[in-house]
Amino acid sequence: MNSVSAVVLAGGEGTRLRPLTQHRPKPMLPAATTPILEHVFDQLLAAGVTEIAIVVGYGRNRVQTYFGPTYKNVPLTYVTQKNQFGSGHALLAAEDEVDGPVLVVNGDQLVEHGIITDVLDAHRKTTTAATLGLLTHIDVGEYGGVLLRDGQVTTIVEHPEDERPYRLNAGVYLFDSRIFDAIRAADPHTGEQSLIDGIQELLASDAVVQGVISDGLWTDATYPWDLLDVSFELFEAGIVDGSKGATTEASATIHESAVIREPIVLGPDCEIGPGAVVGPYVCLGDNATVGSNAVVERSVVDADTRIGAGATVVDCVTGVGVTIGNGTTIPGGPGDVRVGDRIFEDEHLGALLADHVTDRGGNTYVPGAIVGSDAVVETGATVRGTIPEGTEVRP
């Protein structure tokens, strides 16, 4: 198998990451300073993939303009999934682009290339209807679980709740063409055609589905604060080099009196003003600015964001084009966060400021605060809880 083609499912919004996903899909959220999807492509390329089809849907313009027609000389084909009716439905959209066995991965989950290589190798050794990449992982309940017997998958479920010895479904699949009919044959649950249902259908039809247990980095941002962990894991795994010399783009400007504490990663055109202290564990996206004497720690700051003079920003996730005014304090630390109608206690999230939030300075954020896109926080406010998009917050 000299040419390896992959389908990347990148059409979903990622509703649990709202409000960050208001304008762009989850695969385009930043892991360190580049979109999660770019890391996914890097790992696919490292595993020897030679062509990639991407199923795009929600926010597809963002994906297409960012990557264009090729990524590092690997041709990209975009397939539009008009409505998002589940992962199986997404794969069906790419059916015409696929000829022969196909590797399928999620565009919003970061998987180290070793896991992908293991799946490809296993398929080369024993050709089956499907080969699944698996991990031994504690939090199977949050994701998908697989039961194995003699290397063959017997059961696959989403969010397993019982205590059987489930392996984590890493979301790395190698299918032959039978999967498409299996997805079509499976009963849609609540109007969605899931890939998992398709695999269950394969199992029901007595097709052989094998599982390969690997290890390596596997990370998925389910909730906004996970974006911090995802980025930090990239530093730990060495996928992103956090040393100052390695990551400082030639076009970043750092004032000589600023202090940089590794690991950090800076995008092009960043500016760090005099006396600022940036790091450790800070990712500054393209064209971000940190004003004089500001302190930024353990934060993922997306492109075009400006942090004012004397601001303190800790455990913070920002979207693009956010302004954090002079002297605003985001002290960080554990706090209670509300997502939809669930409350998560003691999550490490100083604040989440979605795209284009404007903070006029001199404000304080209680840990766990989530501010929706385009909101304006006037000077002198204390921000807590969840603020809807476009809101004007007055003290």
274 vs 385 by CB, closer to other proteins = 274
Residues ≥6 apart with Cβ < 8 Å to 132: 119, 146, 153, 156, 169, 170, 172, 173, 199, 209, 210, 211, 212
CB of 235 to other proteins, least distance (A): 25
CB of 46 to other proteins, least distance (A): 20
Q: What angle do CA 308, 312, 316 make, to 5 degrees?
A: 100
How many Cβ atoms are within 10 Å of 324's Cβ, its own excluded?
32
Told to check if 327 binds other proteins by CB under 8 A, we report: no
Question: Which one of 69-77, 160-168, 208-216, 337-345 is the stretch in contact with other proteins (CB under 8 A)?
Answer: 69-77
Q: Which stretch binds other proteins (CB under 8 A): 76-84, 126-134, 154-162, 293-301?
A: 76-84
243 binds other proteins (CB under 8 A): no
Near other proteins by CB under 8 A: residue from 87, 109, 219, 289: 289
* Burial degree of 378 (CB within 10 A; 0-12, 13-18, 19+): middle
CA angle, residues 387, 297, 379, in degrees to nearest 5: 40
Q: What are phi and psi of 302, to 5 degrees?
A: -85, 175
**Residue type at 227?**
L
In the list 65, 82, 165, 342, the residue contacting other proteins (rule: CB under 8 A) is 65
- Contact call for residue 123 and other proteins (CB under 8 A): no
**Alpha-carbon gap, residue 382 to 377, rounded angstroms:** 9
Among 356, 357, 360, 368, binds other proteins (CB under 8 A): 356
Sign of CA dihedral 214, 224, 21, 300: negative
Using the minimum distance from each CB to other proteins, give the nearer residue, 127 or 251.
251
Q: What is the CA radius of gyration of the chain?
A: 22
> Are 305 and 288 a contacting pair, CB within 8 Å?
yes
Q: Is 257 in the site for other proteins (CB under 8 A)?
A: no
- Does residue 64 belong to the site contacting other proteins (CB under 8 A)? yes
320 lines the binding site for other proteins (CB under 8 A): yes
- Quote the least distance from Cβ 253 to other proteins, whole Å: 6
- Which residues contribute to the site for other proteins (CB under 8 A)? 23-24, 56, 59-62, 64-65, 67-70, 76-78, 80, 251, 253, 255, 268-269, 271, 273, 286-287, 289, 291-292, 303-304, 306, 320-321, 355-356
